[in-house]
Every structure is written in structure tokens, then in C-alpha cells.
Chains A and B, each alone.
Chain A
Amino acid sequence: MSDRPDRSSAQPLEFREATKRYPGTDTPAVDGLSLEVPAGEICVLVGPSGCGKTTAMRMVNRMIEITSGDILLGGRSVKDRKTAELRREIGYVIQHIGLFPHWTIGENIATVPKLQGWDKPRIDQRVVELLELIGLPPETRNRYPSQLSGGQRQRVGVARALAADPPVMLMDEPFGAIDPINRERLQNEFLRLQAELRKTIIFVTHDIDEAIKMGDRIAILQEGGKLAQYAPPAELLMYPASRFVEDFVGSDRALKRLALQRVRDIDLWTAAAIRTGTPVAEAREKIEEADVPYAMLVDEHGRPKGWLSDRALTGERVTEELRSPAQPLVELDDVLRDALADLLSSETRYGAVVDHKGALAGVLSLEVIQHFLHAAPAASPTGADLLSE
């Protein structure tokens, strides 16, 4: 990807008191929206229907004209640009995709490059490149949209938007018409793509879970087109700015935060890792130092075998007597929500955490998670961070 010569860098986007008022209506559709999207980030516009999120997005490429205020793309007002020219520089993906049924997939993808007057070899090369990027075989270019599945069409829609390598993309419920299983897959695929491409993206959805997953930043809009809060997902979940935001993100916002974090991101408790044959005195000392009052029997590679029983510590040296197996076993890379589920469905209070080699790395407990939820987030991880590891 990095050797692509035509790759343009992303540009920041800024809404400056952007307002849309339709004649004959009392309340504006979008009311003085001000927010900045740094270059290369996904900004999700989310809110209930009628909150003006789609209107706000469509003002960027002037599918809807701004009544007052301004939107700056790369520091330049979109109002100063010719609409057709502006739109060709902004990728556009909509829920119903809107592929042209009378054009082949290749022709569909080449829409904007053709409008920009690229020569044929360059267009051909770009089409092949994009098909590869979205994981479709090159011969797909000769097929028609009606011959593709919904998921494939959606991918083509994304490829078409990326074709001329725009610095900014607008995506209006792009996965809204896809079934839940394929939606999740497409979301993950897109986040991987974005990790490489780093476009500035305005992403519209009504689904708060999708917003939390996709957004580097989330703008929650409420009725009347007012911005209720603009923050990274973790911050939004931690500190909802109003009753409206709190209700909108849902009563399970604590769980949603856990879905954004991995086990390695939080301060785990320590447990004494003891091997069979260790002098009991030494073992007891280790247990004293650890956070957990129980010791974990480990093998020569440090892999947990089970929690030691009190009887194992009665003699000279530690014997292999276990009170319980090392269950549940949690990995450092597990998402916290899944680790919590494991913990809740097991009978023990502690979950042994292992690194990628299987060696004991710490202990997870309900208290640890609770403590994490009450502490301020150090960093603000996003759905994309989870995928990129």
C-alpha cells in the first residue's frame, strides 16, 4: 500500500457553527454544529432519527446546502468549491449503496477516476488494486451488480468511494442493510482497511454499538440538530455529558466500555507462581507479597496448572495438591467483556491471566474490573485499536 504513488493524505474537517434550516420549519435540522475531526480519524455522527445526523453529513459534500455557518475541508470552505468538483474529492457511501445496475463492477468502481479524466491503463490498474483491497477476485470487474451478494455489493460501494483516493469519506449507515453476522465482518474489514488508509471519515449511524466500535470520536446529536456531546468512545461512556447522552448510550455503558478494552490494558493483581518442590517457607513469602491470598502452581514454563490447596503448603516442600483447576484461563489479548463473561460463568473469584506463551501474567477478578470502571481512562481506546493488534 505504501508504494502507491497516487495516495493523497487525509485532511482535517471542521464544522463551524454549521446550520441547516429548511424554510417553513420552526426548528433547524442542524443547529450550530461545531466540531473538528482530525485528519485520518473516524468521526461517528449518532443519534435518534430526526436528530440531523444525515443532514449534517450531507452538508459536507453539499448534497444539502448550508444555511449558515461553514464547513472547512483541509482549511478551505466547502462553499467556495464547485459542487461537482468538491464531491469528486469526497468518497461517498450510502446505505443502499446505489451501484449503477447498468454498469459492470469495474465501471462502477471507475466512476470518479473516469470523471477526473484518468487514462484507461491507470483506471484498469486502480480497479484491480481496489478489488484486491476489498477481497474480491479480479474477474468480478466484468460482472454486474445484480450478480453480487449484498455484502459484496457493499464492498464494491466502499471501493468505488475509495477509487480516486479521496482525503475524506462520507458514510451514511453503510452497513445498515446487511445482516448482523455479515455486518460485523464488514465492520472489522473496514476498520482494518482504515488502519492502513487513514482517511478522514464522517460515519453516520443510529446504532450506538456501531458508533462505539467504529468511532475514534463520537458526536451524539439530539432532536433539533443539537450536539449533545463530542468525545472519544471511552470518555463518552465514562462521562456522559447529559441525561440525554446517558440514556442514549444505554444503561449497559459500563459493559460497553469493557468491550473497548483488552485484559492487558488494566492493572491486574499478582499471584504467587510456585513450582512443585519449592521450599514452603519461600512459597509463603511469595504469597505474602502477592495481591491474591492463593498461590498458583505452575510448570517449568510458568504455565498455570491450578490453585494450590493449603495442604500443599504444610510440609517441607510444596507438593502438587490443588484446590481447583486454573479455570477460567484468560489471555492478555482477550477483550475485557469476554474475560468478565468467563469469570462470571466460573465458580472461582479469580481468573488466571496468561501471556501469548501461556505463562502466568496476573490475575483478573471482579474487583479488578470494578476498580478499572471507576478509574478515569488513561488512554481512550477505540474499536479500531482492538482490531489492529
Chain B
Amino acid sequence: MSPLPIAQLQIQEPGGGDSCVARNGFCPEWIVDNIDRYWTPLLEHVYLTVAPVLIGFAISMALAIWAHRRRWLTGPIIAVSGVFFAIPSVAAFFLLQPITGLGYTTAMVALVSYTLLIIFRNITDGLRNVPAETRDAALGQGLTERQVLFRVELPMAVPEIMAGLRIATSTTVGLAALAVFAGAGGLGSEILVDKRFKSNVVVAGGLAVLLAAAFDLMILGLQRTMTPWRRARA
């Protein structure tokens, strides 16, 4: 990737606060005038976060249910997803390009692989934390294994699963800022357009932080509505 021309933004955007821009300060006027340019990267970033987390959640859930029936699978799954997790993200974005090319697919494959370890481990922990007597009571009353899993164990594991989703989402918002190296856009591309211009970096970076916070609150809210029993006290 060729280095982008520096100070391109200043040239392209003649509007407001020239001296501030020239000094490379923090320029609210410039931000107000140029905020529109960030919407598309922001939406890309939302997509680059939501899609990998959802796909990662689906894969992790399937793996966790599989490993719940066959306990011996848990170790190998954690080992493999641990290897994915250990690959530096920028390296992954470049390494995948010969296979998946430049663009969304590459970013998606890498980002999904990072969520697996976090979400899988949390689902597995949640299922394991269901007390033995609860399982015993469920089976003893005539719930089938499948009913025990879907009506008792998974609902009881919701707090752990949601905790996993929160970590995975925050992590993915951060990693998606690097997806620009895979040619997938996002707020990272906007940072890279002029990484020396403070106002630009602050807005693009700030939006990423706000995005992470917003997702976190949304998942927390979802968790609370899903687990009214956790808040019920005598």
C-alpha cells in the first residue's frame, strides 16, 4: 500500500479555521464542517464489528454445544482458537490476502477468528457453572438432554455468554480499526488518510471509542432484560 499524500485533507477542504488546521491543532470548526465524511466509515465499522461477532457467536455456540456432548473436544477447540487469537491482527490481514484477496472477506475471516476463543470459552464456562443438582433435577423430572440444554443450561449461562459477547465486541471494534490493511475500510481508513492531522485522528478514534461504548451498553441492556431472575431479591 503506497503512503497517502500528507496534508491532502487540508487542500481538499478549504472551509473554516484555516489557521487552526494549519497549526495542526484540535479544530472544532473543521470537525463540524467535515463530520459528514465519517458516516460511511462509521457504518462500515459497525458492519465490521456486528458481522464478525454474530458469525463468531454462531460458530462458537455450535462448537460449545458440540463440546458439551463430547467433553474431550473442549481442549482441542480452545487450543486451535487460541492459535488464531495469538496471530497479530495486522499480520493476519496481510497473510490472508493471497487466499481471500483484498477486501471484506479477508477482514471478516480474521475478525471472526479472533472472537472464537473469547465467546467459546465463555459459553463453555457458563454451561459448566450450572450446578450439578439443577441438571439432576431437570433430568430427573423428565426433561430430555436437548430440553435440559435449551431450557435450563443455556438460559442459566446467559450472564457468562453475554460477558463473552461484550469482550468480543469491544475487541472487534478495536481490531476493525486495522481492517483498513485488508482493504475493508472502516474508521481505520479515515485515520490513515491523514494520521498526522490531530482533528482527524481525534474524530475517527473518538467515534471508534463511542461505538465500543454504545455496543457495550446495548449488550448489557440486553443481558439485563434477558435475566430478570438475576436482579430479583427478597
Residues of A within 8 A of B (CB): 61, 63, 83-89, 92, 94-104, 111-112, 115, 143-144, 146-148, 160-161, 170
In whole angstroms, how far apart are the Cα atoms of A383 and B144 in the complex? Answer: 37
Option from A63, A101, A112 in Cβ contact (under 8 Å) with B139: A63
Instruction: Find chain B residues with CB under 8 A from A148 CB.
Output: 234
Asked whether A96 lies within 8 Å of B133 as measured between CB atoms, the reply is: yes
Given A102-B229, A146-B232, A96 contacting B144 (CB threshold 8 A): no
Asked whether B141 lies within 8 Å of A88 as measured between CB atoms, the reply is: yes
Option from A112, A146, A147 in Cβ contact (under 8 Å) with B141: A112
In whole angstroms, how far apart are the Cα atoms of A369 and B106 in the complex? Answer: 91
A-B contact pairs, 21 of them (CB 8 A): A63-B136, A63-B139, A87-B141, A87-B142, A88-B141, A89-B142, A92-B140, A94-B136, A95-B133, A98-B135, A98-B138, A100-B134, A102-B229, A112-B141, A115-B142, A147-B232, A147-B234, A148-B234, A160-B141, A161-B141, A170-B140
Q: How far is the CB of A140 from chain B (nearest CB, A)?
A: 12
Tell me if B92 counts as interface (CB < 8 A to partner A).
Answer: no
Interface flags for B134-154 (1: CB within 8 Å of A; 0: not) read 111111111110010000100
Tell me if B155 counts as interface (CB < 8 A to partner A).
Answer: yes
Instruction: Find chain B residues with CB under 8 A from A85 CB.
Output: 142
Instruction: Find chain A residues with CB under 8 A from B232 CB.
Output: 143-144, 146-147
Q: How far is the CB of B127 from chain A (nearest CB, A)?
A: 14
Q: How far is the CB of A318 from chain B (nearest CB, A)?
A: 65
Q: How many A-B residue pairs have CB under 8 A?
A: 78
Given A100-B152, A101-B229, A111 contacting B141 (CB threshold 8 A): yes
Q: A99-B137, A100-B156, A115-B142 are in contact. List 19 more A-B contacts (CB 8 A).
A: A63-B136, A84-B142, A85-B142, A87-B142, A88-B142, A92-B141, A94-B140, A95-B133, A98-B133, A98-B135, A98-B138, A100-B134, A100-B138, A100-B152, A112-B141, A115-B143, A115-B147, A144-B232, A161-B141
In whole angstroms, how far apart are the Cα atoms of A87 and B144 in the complex? Answer: 10
In whole angstroms, how far apart are the Cα atoms of A301 and B169 in the complex? Answer: 87
Tell me if B34 counts as interface (CB < 8 A to partner A).
Answer: no
Chain A residue with the shortest CB-CB distance to B158: A102
Tell me if B131 counts as interface (CB < 8 A to partner A).
Answer: yes
Asked whether A94 lies within 8 Å of B137 as measured between CB atoms, the reply is: yes
Asked whether B131 lies within 8 Å of A115 as measured between CB atoms, the reply is: no
Instruction: Find chain A residues with CB under 8 A from B233 CB.
Output: 146-147
Instruction: Find chain B residues with CB under 8 A from A63 CB.
Output: 136, 139-140
Instruction: Find chain B residues with CB under 8 A from A103 CB.
Output: 229
